[in-house]
Amino acid sequence: MVEAGSPEHPLRIAIIGAGPAGFYAAAALLKAEGLKIEVDMYDRLPTPFGLVRAGVAPDHQKDKSVTRAYDKSARHPHFRFCGNIEYGKDVNLDELRRFYHQIIFATGTQSDRALGIPGEDLIGSHSATDFVAWYNGHPDYANLEFDLSCERVAVVGLGNVALDVARILCKSHEELSRTDIADHALRALQNSRVREVYILGRRGPAQAAFTPPEISEIGELTDTDVLVRPKEAYLDAASRAALEANPDRNAEKNVEVIQVYAQRPPQGRQRQLHIRFLLTPLEIIGSANGRTEAIRLARNELYLAQDNSVQVRQTQEEEVLPVGLVFRSVGYRGLGLPELPFDERRGVIQNEAGRIVDDRGQVLTGLYAAGWIKRGPSGVIGTNKVDAKETVALMIEDIRAGRYLSPAQPTAAAATGFLEALAPRSVSYADWAEIDAEETRRGEVADRPRVKFTRLGEFLDVLSD
What does the binding site for ligand NAP look like in residue numbers (CB under 6 A)? Answer: 115, 156-162, 164, 201-203, 207, 209, 211, 214, 329-332, 377-380
For ligand NAP, which is the closer residue by CB, 148 or 302? 302
In angstroms, give the least distance from the CB of 162 to ligand NAP: 6
For ligand NAP, which is the closer residue by CB, 52 or 209? 209
In angstroms, give the least distance from the CB of 156 to ligand NAP: 5
In angstroms, give the least distance from the CB of 249 to ligand NAP: 15
In angstroms, give the least distance from the CB of 223 to ligand NAP: 21
In angstroms, give the least distance from the CB of 127 to ligand NAP: 10
For ligand NAP, which is the closer residue by CB, 203 or 450? 203
In angstroms, give the least distance from the CB of 57 to ligand NAP: 7
For ligand NAP, which is the closer residue by CB, 156 or 182? 156
Q: Which of 127, 124, 149, 166 minimizes the C-alpha distance to 293?
A: 124
In angstroms, give the least distance from the CB of 92 to ligand NAP: 30
For ligand NAP, which is the closer residue by CB, 214 or 232? 214
d(CA 228, CA 267): 13
Dihedral over Cα of 88, 352, 366, 108: its sign: positive
For ligand NAP, which is the closer residue by CB, 64 or 203? 203
For ligand NAP, which is the closer residue by CB, 211 or 416? 211
CB atoms within 10 A of CB 272: 18
Residue with the closest Cβ to ligand NAP? 159
For ligand NAP, which is the closer residue by CB, 107 or 207? 207
In angstroms, give the least distance from the CB of 201 to ligand NAP: 6
